[in-house]
Amino acid sequence: VIMGEESQASPQAGNQLEWVIDPIDGTVNFSHGLPFWCCSIAVRHQGKSLAGAVYAPELDELYTASLEAPAQCNGRPIRVSSCNTLADAIVLTGMDKTNDPNIPPLELFRTIAAHTQKARILGSAALDMCHVAAGRAEAYFESGVYVWDVAAAGLICEQAGGQSELLRPLPDHRIQFLSTNRLIHAPLKDLIEGVMVRASR
């Protein structure tokens, strides 16, 4: 059973293995010659990722992990950062273009930027999470990303000692998703949820 951006949906996997594939995550970057794009493949069983690989050709970086193996980049172990305060954290994020009034992308970005060292938009969700796994940033958040963007990289981040969490399911395989170095997960989640609550009033 296959789920991916090109197919948009797959039959119910049931007890079968499900391959979740995104051939190019960061399509706009790719089309403009920017190096921040990647290929992402995960295998899941009943919605849980068992193994994943993310390859960034322009950077020549292959990130891998499984439930039985730690996260690696080009065969070498990687680990999330030890930063434990939001004020010192770099948060990678995206700018969702949805018209959902309950998802205020500009307010989310401003709030994250105001409470962290820096907020950055690099343009590839899967690669962003691999940067978190490698300790280059402390967190990744996006208010509307697709399952195939995070299926592999979310596991890679977890196996590097981080924490990945689906915050809110959205229609058409979209989700709100947060991956962190674990140490700043709770305060960053509280910050994001505070914005969402205010937007829903």
What confidence tier does 105 reach under pLDDT thresholds 50, 70, 90? Answer: confident
* Phi and psi, residue 115, nearest 5°: -110, 5
- Is 5 considered catalytic here? yes
Per-residue pLDDT, averaged over 188-198, amounts to 92
Q: Find the catalytic residue in 2, 6, 21, 27.
A: 27
pLDDT at 99: 61
Q: Find the catalytic residue in 22, 128, 138, 158.
A: 22
Reported as a single tens digit per residue, the pLDDT across 17-60 is: 999 999 999 999 999 999 999 999 999 998 899 999 999 999 99
Q: Find the catalytic residue in 18, 21, 25, 78.
A: 25
**Look-up of token digits 């981040």:** 157
Query: Whole-model pTM?
Result: 0.93
Per-residue tokens: 133: 């796994």
What confidence tier does 101 reach under pLDDT thresholds 50, 70, 90? Answer: low
What confidence tier does 6 reach under pLDDT thresholds 50, 70, 90? Answer: low
Write 61-69 long-range contacts (CB < 8 A, 24+): 61/130, 63/130, 63/133, 63/134, 63/153, 63/156, 64/156, 65/133, 65/155, 65/156, 65/158, 65/159, 65/160, 66/155, 66/159, 67/155, 67/159, 69/159
